Chain A
Amino acid sequence: MSYFKRKLWAGKIQLVIALMLIAAVGLTGCSTKQEAADTKKPAEVTLLNVSYDPTRELYKEFNESFAKFWQAKTGQAVTVKQSHGGSGKQARSVLEGLEADVVTLALADDIYPLRDAGLISADWEKRLANNATPYTSTIVFLVRKGNPKNIKDWDDLIRPDVSVITPNPKTSGGARWNHLAAWGYGLRKFNNDENQTKDFLAKIYKNVPVLDTGARGSTTTFVERGIGDVLIAWENEALMATIELGKDKFDIVAPSISILAEPPVAVVDKVVEKKGTREVATAYLEYLYTEQGQEIAAKNFYRPRNETVAQKYANQFPKLNLFTIADLGGWNEAGKKHFADGGIFDQIYTPKK
């Protein structure tokens, strides 16, 4: 290659590097400008709702409805940004500095660390009705169409011919409700004998071939991969799966007794104080309790708290006996006992020494 060509090449490379740098600077320039524009206009406000996996569809619809409501009421345009993921992971992101105005998580146990870190005030459960849980759900079984394995209740899950799908309670909030629902059933069956109940749970977990990291992963495993005879799932997930993922492919079985799953919501005080969004963030959560909010929750298969809305959608939800987390001593106690390192879930899986 001649000297001339080399020179040409060096020039080209110089040019490429220069262009890359310009592109880099240009792109960031744009993005910072945009952000600056956002803060200048008080007529617009942006909220960040950090939520867990199965609420995607719910909040998509709810955010639009709230934006209309808020615009009509105050004239302010509100954009609600969404972040979804496993409940524990989401709580951790907020703990690590993700600036969420509101958190809407799968269980109170994931909000306590935020409270302990001083991000959310200690009375958060008192600030909204029903311990700050605007909608509820429960844990049910999803089985293949026609229920070929004839699964009726928790007892059937320990049968050796039944394969059970549930996520890993260490990483999934939904799986914790599943675990505790089975635990509550076991306590009633064995007259509060915890050792027998633990054996009962161990037998269920023995039938589990896959522990996905999240509830959505488990649903995919059951529905798409065709693995397992029964999926232990949120009622709202199970209803959605039967309607959206495979019409006439699955049936829902309501066990004789299950847990009332109460997903909590909270304003993140530290963040709204800093951003000056307390008013709209509080209104956002309160809107969940209004008839419109409750209606949207019900449409997305969450059990509404509001009596009128509940009546209207009564046919959608199977009737079953429900106990609550308070019956198991509340999340503070149950969380530690079952899911901390060396807790009951670990004991089930770790071979005895």
Chain B
Amino acid sequence: MLKQLLQKKHSILPGFGLTLGFTLFYLGLIVLVPLSTIFLKTLGLSVQQIWAIATEPRLVASYKLSLGASLAAAALNAVFGLIVAWVLVRYQFPGKKIIDGLVDLPFALPTAVAGITLTTLFAPNGWIGQYFAAAGIKVAFSPLGVVIALTFISLPFVVRMVQPILQSLDQEVEEAAACLGANRWQTFVKIIFPELLPALLTGFALAFARALGEYGSVVFISGNMPMQTEITPLLIMIKLEQYDYTGASVVAAVMLVASFLLLFLINILQWWSSTRHA
């Protein structure tokens, strides 16, 4: 069945069999076989049992937090990431190179370090948290803290997706628009933004997908209150602590399916984006 699915069209380039074979082999070995164990563990359960586990009130509360905070983080990154990308591509200012390089930092910084550092900063007695505390806002150990941690770890995505598109944009079109009497805002909304939209959406979705699964940085800053600030990956951990491997697998399977659907959507978005540019 797979062979039929992967029917190739004629090409004179060699190495299709070799490279695709290796790709599938490696993919299977590292990703598919390991991930399939999650589903194997849930095999003994009936659909009703799976549904009962997957809809426990505490889990549902965690879905809400994980989804909500990830969406908020991705949205924050979409807005600010777009501005950052714009500024980095279009303007000159001192320290620009350094700032550009720093954008990748959340990728490289261990999530635990990020979690500890952000908690230190945003705790009521931290450098930043004290000002929020004075205003009566609790940042660390609240859903807001979760959003901040997730914004941090998913920060590079929108910037790095939008930046190259913005660079490759032909400014002549903008000039033409200006000649035709469009003001700057109109040009942005009508000409530039539609071009950036696919990349922006992809960046948004990538940030969202990354935030959804994040664990290391969030457990430090969230406070882990049942029904309030427990994220879904933490509940997998909690189920494991109770030696409930099946329960953990069910939750993991739910998350896996969600990730897969999300990624599929991203790839369709990217395909859309590339056909627009072709």
Min CB distance, B181 to chain A, in Å?
44
Query: From DSSP, what is the main secondary structure of chain B's interface residues?
Result: loop
Q: Which residues of B contact A211 (CB under 8 A)?
A: 223-226
Min CB distance, B238 to chain A, in Å?
5
Is A226 in contact with B123, judged by CB distance below 8 angstroms? yes
Q: Which residues of B contact A350 (CB under 8 A)?
A: 57-58, 226-227
Check B156 for interface membership: any CB of A closer than 8 A. Answer: no
Check A55 for interface membership: any CB of B closer than 8 A. Answer: no
Interface-lining segment among B31-39, B86-94, B165-173, B241-249? B241-249
Contacts known (A225-B124, A349-B58); A209 close to B244, Cβ less than 8 A: no
Check B154 for interface membership: any CB of A closer than 8 A. Answer: no
Min CB distance, B107 to chain A, in Å?
21
Is A346 in contact with B58, judged by CB distance below 8 angstroms? yes
Q: Which residues of A contact B247 (CB under 8 A)?
A: 341
A 217-258 binary contact with B (CB < 8 Å = 1; else 0): 100010011110000000000000000000000000000000
Min CB distance, B222 to chain A, in Å?
9
Number of chain B residues close to chain A: CB under 8 A = 27
Contact of B224 among A212, A226, A339, A351 (CB under 8 A): A212
Chain A residue nearest to B240 in the complex (CB): A92
Check B237 for interface membership: any CB of A closer than 8 A. Answer: yes
Check A138 for interface membership: any CB of B closer than 8 A. Answer: no
Chain B residue nearest to A214 in the complex (CB): B219
Q: Which residues of A contact B238 (CB under 8 A)?
A: 168, 170-171
Chain A residue nearest to B221 in the complex (CB): A210
Contact of B242 among A168, A210, A227, A341 (CB under 8 A): A341
Contacts known (A95-B243, A170-B241, A341-B247); A349 close to B227, Cβ less than 8 A: yes
Q: A113-B243, A226-B124, A341-B244 are in contact. List 11 more A-B contacts (CB 8 A).
A: A170-B238, A210-B225, A211-B223, A221-B141, A225-B125, A225-B140, A227-B124, A339-B242, A341-B247, A350-B227, A351-B57
Which residue numbers of A lie inside 8 Å of B, CB to CB? 86, 88-89, 92, 95, 113, 168, 170-171, 208-213, 217, 221, 224-227, 339-341, 346, 349-351
Which residue numbers of B lie inside 8 Å of A, CB to CB? 56-58, 119-120, 123-126, 140-141, 219-220, 223-227, 234, 237-238, 240-244, 247
